[in-house]
Amino acid sequence: MSLYQETIASLRRKLTAKEISPTELVQSLLQRIESVDPKVNGYLRVDSEKALAQAKNCDLSKPLGGIPIAIKDNINEKGEECTCASQILVGYQAPYDATVIRKLKEAGAILLGRTNMDEFAMGSSTEHSSFKKTSNPWKLDHIPGGSSGGSAAVVAADEAIASLGSDTGGSIRQPAALCGCVGLKPTYGRVSRYGLVAFASSLDQIGPFTKTVEDSALMLQAIAGQDHYENTSRPVAVPDYTASLQQPVKGLRIGIPKEYFGEGIDHDVADALQKSIAWYQSQGAIIKEISLPHTHAAIAVYYIIATAEASANLARFDGVRYGHRTSTVGDPLTIYRKSRAEGFGPEVKRRIILGTYVLSSGYADAYYNRAQKVRQLLRRDFVTAFQECDVLLTPTSPTPAFKAGEKMNDPLKMYLADICTIAVNLAEVCGISIPCGFSSNQLPIGLQLIGPHFQEGTLFRAAHAYEQAHEWVKRHPQF
């Protein structure tokens, strides 16, 4: 096995035993990126010199010492361009490190490069980037998912050992499922959002893409915890997540929400999920069908709340303080309007318009305030479910990856790609996607496990047991 194919856990053992050096590992990945990324287009920028310099000086005694990690391009790193894959932020260099970046550096990680994404994290296919379209490593004419498609693709294609993404409505879990890797959306408040360029502040959460569940636990261990810079991060102790990995699933109560297994679920996905459920049952888990009765409202609630918050958050990009400024001469209003028209892409404009509308005078009560009330009903559904169950099991995506361009002209169909993941963000609970099979045309299928607030350890317990009993994580795309 090549070094670039290995996991955090296996590489840490080799690095600490001095069987390999950090420089050798970085060089292996840089060669892989040079060979593969022209086809995948997962990276926006790779700083080879900086990565090699970090490799020479890294501290191998630290938890992630010597491990190269890719970063989604909406997370600020001091001195690095942070564009959110948008023309409006071309040339903007972050003046500070996001808390997760600081924590990765403190843990000894090597920051390898910046990954492609849907512009301002608005999309489900990474086709809305202003710079390039990322391909699915398993089939290059298919999408990798979004909005963190670049972060998922570089891990699946062995161009990074792990990566960071952000998840507002499924933007870690959905691309992880479509690319065949592990994607974790932590509980809202478990990981600091300080330094993440905001899309929808009550929904956004940073999390890792990894090759295995164990690696996901190691990454969360490094980035979790309360942060005094970020007032929604919670004062909840961070446990030893790796301690959960060896616990058996016997006696674990797994809820199967009937609303997630109805019309619209692809046959191959449904078949893979039923086999997974049967496996858990064979291991002594207690399987119980449950109901999340307000699931049908999740898409509508999400696209009201998320667009409203996006409209407010993106108002700061005005062509004056930083980023793109139009060359048109005029009064301040003309400069604002022209800068934003030139800098934002069509999907971002669509969501700003929707969000401004639902917040406008006379409509806020009919849309935004009502959506917030329904959100509380969705949260209550999960609270009730977790009184009976330890985790919930659902598909991550209703279908395997679709072909590039297939849904670009139909925004509603594109929005439905996140139908299985959105409610997790609205309820602020945690979720993980792990590989559970392949479709008839050899595209990955993902299984989603959902846990109560701050119970990521339970997710790791259930996910690791399944992963160890199956061969899915051992398969790699062929180039």
Between CA 355 and CA 312 the distance in angstroms is: 8
Catalytic-residue membership of 14: no
Q: Is 163 annotated in the active site?
A: no
In 4-86, the DSSP E strands lie at 43-46, 68-72
Alpha-carbon distance of 306 to 169, in angstroms, equals 9
H or E element in which residue 448 lies: strand 444-451
pLDDT at site 305: 97
pLDDT of residue 479: 84
The answer to whether the beta carbons of residues 42 and 134 sit under 8 Å apart is yes
Element (H, E) at 370: helix 370-388
Q: Which residue carries 């905001």 as its tokens?
A: 198
pLDDT of residue 331: 87
Q: Measuring CA to CA, which residue among 445, 441, 462 is closest to residue 279?
A: 462
Q: How far is CA 352 from CA 97, 146, 218, 323, in A?
A: 27, 19, 37, 18
Catalytic residue among 28, 72, 185, 338: 72
**pLDDT digit string (tens) for the chain, length 479 residues:** 899 999 999 999 999 999 999 999 999 999 999 999 999 999 999 999 999 999 999 999 999 999 999 999 999 999 999 999 999 999 999 999 999 999 999 999 999 999 999 999 999 999 999 999 999 999 999 999 999 999 999 999 999 999 999 999 999 999 999 999 999 999 999 999 999 999 999 999 999 999 999 999 999 999 999 999 999 999 999 999 999 999 999 999 999 999 999 888 999 999 999 999 999 999 999 999 999 999 999 999 999 999 999 999 999 998 887 789 999 888 888 988 999 999 999 999 999 999 999 999 888 889 999 999 999 999 999 999 999 999 999 999 999 999 999 999 888 889 888 999 999 999 999 999 999 999 999 999 999 999 999 999 999 999 999 999 999 988 999 98
Backbone angles phi, psi at 230, to 5 degrees: -135, 110
CATH code that applies to domain 3-254+387-474: 3.90.1300.10
Find the catalytic residue in 171, 192, 244, 339. 171
Closest CA to 242 of 63, 421, 61: 63
Among residues 28, 125, 147, 166, the one annotated as catalytic is 147
Three-state SS at 425: helix
The residues, ordered by sequence, that sit 6+ positions from 171 with a Cβ below 8 Å of its Cβ are 118, 121, 124, 146, 147, 148, 165
Which residue ranges make up each domain of the chain?
A: 3-254+387-474
Distance from chain centroid for Cα 130: 19
Q: For residue 171, indicate whether it is catalytic.
A: yes
What angle in degrees, to the nearest 10, is found between the helix axes of 298-313 and 346-359? 100
Give me the residues paired with residue 208 across strands.
164
Whether residue 226 contacts residue 235, with contact meaning beta carbons closer than 8 Å, is answered with yes
Q: How many Å separate Cα 308 from the centre of its chain? A: 21
How far CA 187 is from CA of 415, 429, 479, in Å, comes to 23, 5, 36
Phi-psi category of residue 298: left, alpha or beta, with phi > 0 → left and psi -120 to 50 → alpha: alpha
**DSSP assigned state of 39:** H
d(CA 261, CA 375): 21
Q: Using only C-alpha atoms, what is the Rg of the chain? A: 21
